[in-house]
Amino acid sequence: MPHPLGFITLLTDFGDRDWFVASMKGVILTINPHATIVDLSHQITPCRIDEAGYFLKSCYREFPEGAIHVVVVDPGVGSDRRAIAVMGRRYFFLAPDNGVLTHIFEEELPIEVREIDQRRFRRESPGHTFDGRDLFAPAAAWLARQQPFESFGRLINDPKAFTIAETKSDATALVGEIVHVDRFGNLISNITATHLGEFQNASKATSSTIRIGKCMISRLVTSYTEGQSNCLCALVNSNGFLELFIREDNAANSVQLGVGDRIYIE
């Protein structure tokens, strides 16, 4: 069971143009002046829960045990969606209950999931459009100050999760989508190496074709240098996800594909 550190990470779709991130940090430091705050990213595509989930999965394990990861990609802000606090095997997570922690539920095997008590942790505010500042920031700050986890709210056993990738019922195709485009223009899907192995076993296929848009890829390579120039290629990246790239080029721009485009393994 982890013990919370005064170490808080922030992952949002707020960008860096507005005051949103600064406001969250101000609230945290007012409650806990000794907190260390690390920005994972604030450039998640607005409202793309799946992209935020991929980003979190890619880096949360690199932090010290007991770190508190706060995710605010929240298209349902102001609605009746729950805000949750999760105690994993090694880390804590605070996020809207909208599926953004799907990968975490698979990997961290949560010890406890609680619905954050809004009467206790919500700051007074004239509106309900900024839970990052008014709910998640104060909750994270108090957790980092060793507020007992059981005080955060009632236990729940049904946090939301989404299907990461789907296999057609007749095992003829594995269907996923692009969830992130990195700064090099590489297209990262939500299909994992595990999904690929399971699909191959289910379909009993000896080879597969990757199809996205008008592009077809017949094999995986193991590194960028194995890819052909001017040709869309595929590999499993260092985070275990299927990634499409063009050697020394921007694949997203070249093939005009991006976040949300479907990818098929057949």
* 3-state secondary structure string across 86-109: EECCCCEEEEECCCCCHHHHHHCC
Query: What is the distance between the alpha carbons of residues 42 and 24, in angstroms, rounded to a whole number?
Result: 12
pLDDT averaged over every residue in the chain? 94
Residue (of 81, 79, 113, 98) closest to 161 by Cα position? 98
Query: What is the distance between the alpha carbons of residues 132 and 210, in angstroms, rounded to a whole number?
Result: 39
Q: Any idea where the domains of the chain sit in the sequence?
A: 7-152, 166-265
CA–CA distances in Å: residue 122 to residues 43, 119, 179: 25, 6, 31
In DSSP notation, 37-86 reads EEEEES-SPTT-HHHHHHHHHHHGGGSPTT-EEEEE--TTTTSS--EEEE
Whole-prediction pTM: 0.90
Instruction: Please tell me the predicted confidence (pLDDT) of residue 170.
Output: 62
Instruction: Please tell me the predicted confidence (pLDDT) of residue 137.
Output: 98
Question: Do residues 111 and 104 make contact, with C-beta atoms less than 8 angstroms apart?
Answer: no
pLDDT top residue among 72 and 1 = 72
Most confident range (mean pLDDT) of 29-33, 199-203, 257-261 is 29-33
The CATH number of the domain covering residues in 166-265? 2.40.30.90
Instruction: Please give the average per-residue pLDDT across 115-137, as a whole number.
Output: 95
Residue 200 has pLDDT above 90, yes or no: no
Instruction: Please tell me the predicted confidence (pLDDT) of residue 110.
Output: 87
Query: What is the distance between the alpha carbons of residues 256 and 266, in angstroms, rounded to a whole number?
Result: 22
88-97 pLDDT, tens digit per residue, is 999 999 999 9
In degrees and rounded to multiples of 5, residue 227 shows phi and psi of: -70, 155
Instruction: Please tell me the predicted confidence (pLDDT) of residue 261.
Output: 95
Q: 7-152 adopts what CATH topology? A: Rossmann fold (3.40.50)
131-148 pLDDT, tens digit per residue, is 999 999 999 999 999 999
The answer to whether 7-152 and 166-265 have equal CATH topology is no
How many residues does this entry show for the chain?
A: 266
30-47 pLDDT, tens digit per residue, is 999 999 999 999 999 999
At 203, the pLDDT band (50, 70, 90 cuts) reads: confident
In DSSP notation, the chain reads -----SEEEEEES--SSSSHHHHHHHHHHHH-TT-EEEEEES-SPTT-HHHHHHHHHHHGGGSPTT-EEEEE--TTTTSS--EEEEE-SS-EEEEESSSTTHHHHHHT--SEEEE--HHHHPPP-S-SS-HIIIIIHHHHHHHHTT--GGGG--B-S------S-EE-TTSS-EEEEEEEE-TT--EEEEEEHHHHHHHHHHHT-S---EEETTEEE---BSSGGGSPTTS-EEEE-TTSEEEEEBTTB-HHHHHT--TT-EEEE-
Residue 157 has pLDDT above 90, yes or no: yes
Residue 169 has pLDDT above 60, yes or no: no
